[in-house]
Amino acid sequence: MAIVIFSALLIAKASQLSDQSGVARAYFGPVPLFELSKVPVGNGTSTGTFQLITKGVLTYIGFWLSIGIIISAVRYKSYKM
**Does the pLDDT at position 30 exceed 90?**
yes
**Does the pLDDT at position 22 exceed 70?**
yes
Which pLDDT value is given to residue 6?
Answer: 92
**Does the pLDDT at position 43 exceed 80?**
yes
* Confidence band for 27, pLDDT divided at 50, 70 and 90: very high
Distance CA 39, CA 25 (A): 15
The answer to whether 36 touches 27, Cβ cutoff 8 Å, is no
* Confidence band for 32, pLDDT divided at 50, 70 and 90: very high
Strand arrangement of the beta sheet that strand 31-42 belongs to: 22-28, 31-42, 45-52
